[in-house]
Structures are given as C-alpha cells and as structure tokens.
A and B are shown apart, each in its own frame.
Chain A
Amino acid sequence: MEKIMRDFAKYLGVWIVLVATAVIEVFFVLEGITRNPMVFVVAVALFQSALIALFFQHLREEPIVIKGMTVSGAILIVILIVSAVTSVLTCTPYFPG
C-alpha cells in the first residue's frame, strides 16, 4: 500500500503541475502579461502535452526497448524544455510582440 501511495504521489505531482500551468496560463493571458498570446498558449500546450506523454512513458510496464525509449523520451524532454523556455520568453520584452 505504501508503494502504491508513493507511486500515486508522483502522478499527483504531475497533476499539480498541469493544473498550475493551466491557471497561470489563463491569468497571464487575461492580464495581458504575455506579449504574444498565440505563441504563449501553443508553447504551454506543448509543455503540458510533453509532460503527459512522458508520464505515460513512465507508466509503461517494461520499456519498449532501451533505444526506442531514450529516443522518444529524449525528444519529449527537448520539447518540454523548449516549450517551457518559449512560454516564459513570450512574457518578456525579449520576445517580439
């Protein structure tokens, strides 16, 4: 049971990040904080999707194969990072509005 709870806590963590980003997204757009809302929301959506996909990769019982796993996992992580950085950038003066 304890192990189950530990597993569940991980998923709960993902859930919190997802909900938090959704709320932040709404707030930033409505308050006009982000300079380019279209790019911003697409980046956030990519971030969330990559997170969800990574989460299912983790769920998988046995890895597809080490190679396949790392390739798709690496791609997802790259997407995750790039979209996170982009979404932050769209709220700064460094991004063309």
Chain B
Amino acid sequence: MSFRTWVMKWLTTTDHKDIGILYIVTSIGFLLVAGSLALLFRVQLAFPYSNFLVGSEYYQAVTVHGLVMLLWFASPFAIGLANYIVPLQIGAKDLAFPRLNALSYWLYLFSGILLLLSAFTSAGAPDVGWTLYAPLTARIYTPTVGMDLAALSIFMLSLSITIGTINFMVTIAAMRAPGMGWFKLPMFTWSMLFTMLLMLWAFPPLMVGAAVLFIDRNLGTEFFLNPAGGALLWDHLFWFFGHPEVYILLFPALGAMADIITTFSRRPIYAKKYILTAFLIATIISFIVWMHHMFITGTNIYTRLFYSITTILISIPFEMAVMSFIFTLYKGRLIYTVPMLFAVGSLLNFIIGGSTGVYLGSIAIDRGFRGTYWVVAHFHYILVGTVTLGLIAGLYYWWPKITGRMYSERVGKIHFVLAMVGVALTFLPQFVLLDMPRRYFTYDVPEWLTLNQISTVGSFIFGVSMLVGLANFLLSLVKGPPAPSNPWNAWTLEWFIPSPAPKHNFHGVPIVREDNTVVFASEEAIEKYGIESIRKGEVDIPSTPLAGGQHGAHASHSTHHIATLDPLILSTGFFLAFAGLVLSKPVMYLGVIIAMAALARWLWKDVRNLFVEDLPGYVENWPFPKDKIRSAMWVFIASEIATFGSIFSVYFFIRFNPVGKFMSDAWPPGYLVHDVWLGLINTVILFTGTLLFTLVYLGVKNGNEKLSLIGLLGTLYMAILFLVVKYFEWGELLAAGLGLDAGIYMQAYYLTTGAHGLHVFLGVLATTYLLLKLFHGTLKGKQALSEVLAVGIYWGIVEMVWTLVFPLYYLV
C-alpha cells in the first residue's frame, strides 16, 4: 500500500474497526496533552512560591486539563474500544450507520482541535475551570476569544456524542446476532449501553448550556449574568450533565473490568442480573443527584437533603457491582496477566474512590470538603485510579485482537506497578490535604508543602508509567509476536474470529444456540435449515470461523465498507464555520459553504439510494423494530426531549426564580407582549403541515405517487409559511423595541422560538430530501417507508414542542 492510499484509507474509512483505532489513537494524543499540563501545574504546587506557572496561565492549564481529560480523552477512549469491540461482541458486521460513525469521529477530532486552538489565541485558553462557572464566563469577566472557542468546541463535541449515541443504541438494540439475547450480551457491551443511555440525556443540557453561553457572550443576552438565571441556572444545567458524566466515564471501565475478571478467573461473572440491575438503578438515580454539587449554594435545605439522600443511596448499586466482581474471583483460578492486574488494581482504587465519595454526599460533611483537595483526591481516585486504569486494562486485553500482536508481559507489569504507585503517591496525600482549597497555585501553610511535594513526585511516577506503557504498545506493533485468535481462552464472540478481526468480521452469520455454543452459518445454511432449528441445535452445520480470509465460500457476507470523504469534509466545514465565527468572518462563510456542499453531496447519494442496507431478517432485535432508521429517529427524539427539556427548564427557572421578582424586568403575562392570534395561526399552520405529511405516508405505503407529491408540497408549504410568519413576528417585535435588550423574558422567547424555528428549518430540509427522492423515483419500497415514517416522527416532535412553546410564551 502506498503512503497515499494508506492516508486515504484512514480519511475515508467507515469501518467500525478503523474508526475505533482512530478514536483510541486520537484520545491517547489528548491524554498526552492534558497529562503534560497536569505535570506542569504539579511542579508549581511543589514550589508554591515560585513563579513557574501562576495566575491566568495556571488556570488555563487547569481548565484545559480538566476539559480535555473528561471530554476528549476518557469518554472517547472508551468509545474507541467500544467501536472496535461492541459490534464484534454482539455479532454485527458494523455499527448501524457507518457513515455517521465516521462523522462522529471527525466531529470529535475537530472539536478537540477547536478547543486547543484557543491556547494559541492572543489571551490564551479559557481560565475559568472545567466547570465553567457563571458569571465568570461572561464577556465582562472573561473577554477572551478562547472562551468562545471553548463554548463552541463543547457544542460541537455534543453533536458528535449525540450522533454516536444514536448509532450505538440502534446497533446494540437491533443488530445482535441471532440467538444473542439481552442476557447473553457480554458485560462490556452492556456497560456501553448504559453509557449511551446516560449520554443521550446528559449531553443535551450541556449542549444547550454551551450554546446559551455563546449567545450570552456574543449577542448580549444575559441568561447567566442576570441573577434571575445567573450562576444557579448554569449550575443546574451543568451538573445535570456533570453528574451523569461521571458515570459515563465509569461504566465502560467497569464493563471492561468485568469481562477481564471473568476471563482470568475462569468463571462467569457472578450474579450478572444483579449487576445489570445495579447499573440500571445507578443510571436512573444518577439523574437525580446533581445538586450534590450545589450543597453550599444556599438553595432550599429540604431540596438539598433529598439530593443528599439520593447521593448516599447511589453507593448501594455500586457496592453490589463491586461485590459481584469480588465474588467472581472467589473460588476462581486467577491468572495474573497484565490486563487482569490492571483490572483488579482499578477495582481496589474504586473501593477507595467510592467510599471517599460517600462522605461528600452528606451535606454536613460537604460543608467542610467542598472545593478542597479531598474532592480532588476522591474523583481522581475514580477517574485516574479506576477509569483510566480500567480502560488501560481493556486496551491490554483487546490489544491482540485489535492489532494482531502480543506485547511484553514483563514491561506491562512494570507499567502496572508504576501506575499503581503513581496513583497512590499522587492522590493519597491529597486526602490529607483536606483543608487546602483546590485550584490554588500558591499557599502559605507550611504543613501543606511536603504533602504537595509527595503528590508531585507521584504524578511524575504516573507519567513515567504511561510512557512505559506507550513504549510497550509501540514495541508490540513493531516486533510483537503474532497473536492467536483467542490468546486468553475467553468466552465472548470477539475471540472466536482471527486477530486482528478480518474486514468483514465474521465468516458466516454467528448464531448463538440455546446451549450457548456458537456456530457460524452461511446464508445458504440459514436458508436451508432456518434460523430457529439452527438455534435450537436441531441441525449440526459445519462452521469454520477461524479460517481467515477465504471469501469464496461466503461471498455474500463480504461487506464492502463504504469509503467516503463526506464525513471528513462535513466536519471540516463545521470546524471552519465555528472557528471562523469567532476568529474571522470570511473563514466562517467558507466553512458554511463547505459544510452545505458536503451535506448536499452526502444526501444526494442517499437520494439515489446508493447505500441502502436492510437489516437482515434474522437479527436479534427484541423489542425494537427491524428498522434502523426509524429506531434511530426514536432515539433522537429521546435526546430532543432532553434538549427542549433543558430549554424549558431555563424558562421555568427564570420565570419562577424568586430573585427575579425583584428585578425591574419581571416577567409579564405573554398575551400582553405577543400577538396571540399570530401565534394561534402558526399553531394551526404547523398542525396542518403534519396532517398533510400523513398523505406522504399513505402515498408511499400504497404506491400512490401523486398523493405523496401533494403531501410533500403541502408540508413544505406549511412549514415555510410557519417560518415566514415567524419572521414577520420577530420583525414586528424588534420594531416595537422588544429586542434582545428588552429583558430576560424576551431573550428567553427568542431562545426558545429560535431553537424551535431551527427545528422547523431542519424539517424543511428533510422534507425537501424526500421530495428529491420522489422526483428521482426512489421514494418507494421499504427503505422509503421507513424514511418517511422517520421524518413524520420528526415533524411530530416539532409539533409537540410547539404545543408547549405557544401557550408558555403567548398566553400565560
């Protein structure tokens, strides 16, 4: 392969395995950046009177470190592993939407670059802490463009995450190999499913928060500045994301640890159903604990007590999970390979990190601990000790599968010992520093000095351990011995195929039989015997899954992965548009043009039905429809509910905030400000548009093109009419002096109707797409029907949101 084709392969790939590798490599890059920053500020803390890294620079380092570690290293690293492993574990050929998967990756990469770009602007990266507390982030307190870039990078990352979430959920839900029932899924896949559930609901508030922050800074609104919204509004939005985020980070690591511990104890995971229940409970409760980050904000004490109780309660499911890991070891035959060492090491750290977190759940104790190094020690024990080491365990575990090569066990063990010592030396002293405020670059309490210096030494040991690990991996790539297909004698599907996984993953369709044995059946065999009888073990079919690279016999299975530049170009467009928005208008226009062109190119391929791929009839999809597009739309709707939920909570928070009552711009009843009749007309227009869309459905279903055409044109007409009315309405309001400077209630109005209008606009695009398909003669058949239904569901959510927007702003 020439260098050029090699580069093109990575730029155009949509193969989940390649993208997994891209994610892993990129996230390790971000780890190195953020890790180096940490070492820098640890040096400053060891010499508190020095001027090595102080003031704004210190805080820039802290902020970038936090943001990058959480959002651009830990999560994406897990997503990278999941990209490679999850489809293999469930017996799928790829993720549900390979091109969207590539889009996720490129958006992720460019969003990270966007953030790092801020470090090269004149005033540097943001220096406000990864929590971005308002109102410090407001333009008047932080005028730097770095802050704007950071807000946009978070927004862009949220897009990437949302797309990825949809992709994974549909894949796990509806693309499992025949016989791979829910309870047969390996723990890692399960944990990724919970991660996705959390992401689906946690990221929209962050996305809304980042968008509003950007608007505040650039259009003069004051959501996070006006005390009616202000610091507490940001706190709520941020921590509603922030707490689930910590489980988003944790679950993949626990899942990897579970698989590893199972394999190397030579026992099945103990009480799988208990752990899964525990994870489910933790997932649910994690959405009602966020105010434990606001224990000393002085909000209503009984509300805070509620959150205190839920927080302490959430330790129970995790305790169950830990116990079941330990019971798996009990009476096992433990083999201490490198991944196993890392897994049990992270479990040990998890016990320390978890039990020190329980303290913080108690309001009375948190009054002492909030904002101190105890908190830092707690979450680093989890984030570094558990999450990072757990995921590294995963990398060591799946490395042979991913690269086809083994590594040096000896060097791996050195890596392990150094990492454990490093974590302990770095973070144990910080528990003792329980009075020291976090994010201080200097202090003059002599007792704190030695502890900080120990911690700094520890952090360098940890840094060295990571270099050792990196060297181990690189050496393995260069001259590691080839890996057998199942080096660990493991019991999950990914180990039943060659290492590295072949391009098409499986020869034949993997079928999990009732006795839990797996056969790999050819399409012909499936045709001949039927899935059911193979699954029940009534017929014994020959299967040669390990014979690598023979396409001939199973030609029908060799998926050719789509190679396309569209995702890369589209993300580049986004990147230029966002960077340009802050730095240079012409670049922005260029970016917008590129993005639009890429999108058009992308959709044009779909108009021509170039990549129609039905789910095969035999996939395991209970209880979801055998329809990727429609399932994806439902998942998207769920995330939309969180998005608009966040926007409406902004409304309710501001409107019912007692602080706001004392403001000069208290919220007037809607009908005094807005034209009720215009609003009502728009309501009817929107309802009618959706009604007409049902004609499209009926038309496609019954093969009546004329009906579809009427429906599409009618919907388009109504949707555009809606936007035109909105346009005039805004114009009138502006003319009447009710612009963005007319008070926070007008700002909320523009925010909400703007977000809704944007959705109407996207609906127009989607409907136009269907219209093009109609003209092109491809709006027929099963594929078209699911697309039509998906767009219909989309119009439904646009309509539902309006049923709330209209009365909340126009009436009451």
Residues of A within 8 A of B (CB): 3-4, 7-8, 11-12, 14-15, 18-19, 22-23, 25-26, 29-30, 37-38, 41-42, 44-45, 48-49, 52-53, 55-56, 59-62, 64-65, 67-68
Contacts and interface: CB of A to CB of B under 8 A. Distances in A.
B687 A4 contact: no
Contacts of A3: 702
B671 A15 contact: no
A37 B812 contact: yes
A90 B707 CA distance: 42
Contacts of B663: none
Interface in B670-693: 671, 676, 680, 683-684, 687-688, 690-691
Contacts of B695: 8
B680 A22 contact: yes
A18 B802 CA distance: 12
A68 B800 CA distance: 22
Interface residues of B, number: 36
Given A8-B698, A26-B811, A41-B811, 12 more contacts: A11-B691, A11-B694, A15-B690, A22-B683, A29-B812, A30-B811, A38-B812, A45-B803, A59-B697, A61-B789, A62-B625, A68-B624
A15 B687 contact: yes
Contacts of A8: 694-695, 698
Contacts of A53: 796, 800
Contact of A29 (B622, B789, B792, B811): B811
B676 A30 contact: yes
B288 interface: no
Contacts of A37: 811-812
Contacts of B624: 64-65, 68
A23 B687 CA distance: 12
A39 B804 CA distance: 12
A15 B800 CA distance: 13
B534 interface: no
Nearest to B801: A49
A64 B707 CA distance: 27
Given A4-B702, A53-B800, A60-B625, A44 B807 contact: yes
Interface string B785-811: 100010011001001100110111001
B623 interface: yes
Contacts of A22: 680, 683-684, 687, 803, 806
Q: Kindly list the 5 A-B residue pairs having the minimum CB-CB distance in the complex, ordered from nearest.
A: A41-B807, A65-B623, A49-B800, A48-B803, A45-B804
A10 to B, nearest CB: 9
B674 to A, nearest CB: 12
B691 A26 contact: no
A89 B315 CA distance: 42
Given A29-B812, A61-B785, A49 B625 contact: no
Contacts of B796: 52-53, 55-56
B793 to A, nearest CB: 6
A52 B800 contact: yes
B676 A15 contact: no
Contacts of B408: none
B691 A25 contact: no
A94 to B, nearest CB: 20
Interface of B: 622-625, 627, 630, 671, 676, 680, 683-684, 687-688, 690-691, 694-695, 697-698, 702, 704, 707, 785, 789, 792-793, 796, 799-800, 803-804, 806-808, 811-812
Contacts of B622: 65
9 contacts: A7-B694, A7-B698, A8-B694, A8-B698, A18-B687, A22-B803, A37-B811, A56-B796, A68-B624
A40 B94 CA distance: 48
Nearest to B621: A65
Contacts of B807: 25, 29, 41-42, 44-45
Contact of B707 (A4, A12, A26): A4
The dominant DSSP class at the B interface is helix
Contact of A41 (B688, B799, B808): B808
A42 B707 CA distance: 36
Contacts of B680: 22-23, 26
Nearest to B785: A61
Given A41-B808, A48-B803, A49-B803, A59 B694 contact: yes
Contacts of B630: 60
A34 to B, nearest CB: 9
A56 B680 CA distance: 23
Contact of B688 (A15, A61, A64, A68): A15
A80 B804 CA distance: 15
Contacts of B625: 60-62, 64
Contacts of A11: 691, 694
B687 A60 contact: no
A1 to B, nearest CB: 8
B764 to A, nearest CB: 19
Given A52-B800, A64-B624, A65-B623, A12 B691 contact: yes
B82 to A, nearest CB: 25
Contacts of A18: 687
Contacts of B683: 19, 22
B671 A19 contact: no
A53 B698 CA distance: 18
B811 A15 contact: no
A30 B807 CA distance: 11
A14 B687 CA distance: 10
A49 B687 CA distance: 12
Nearest to A62: B625
A33 B680 CA distance: 18
B661 to A, nearest CB: 15
Q: Quick one: which of A3, A15, A22, A68 has the most chain B CB within 10 A?
A: A22
Nearest to B804: A45
A69 to B, nearest CB: 9
Q: Quick one: which of A19, A59, A65 has the most chain B CB within 10 A?
A: A59
Nearest to B800: A49
Q: Quick one: which of B691, B707, B792, B793 has the most chain A CB within 10 A?
A: B691
Given A8-B695, A48-B803, A68-B623, A56 B811 contact: no
Given A22-B687, A64-B623, A52 B704 contact: no
A15 to B, nearest CB: 4
A19 B811 contact: no
A4 B803 contact: no
A28 B626 CA distance: 45
Nearest to B626: A62
B691 A4 contact: no
A54 to B, nearest CB: 10
Contacts of A7: 694, 698
Contacts of B707: 4
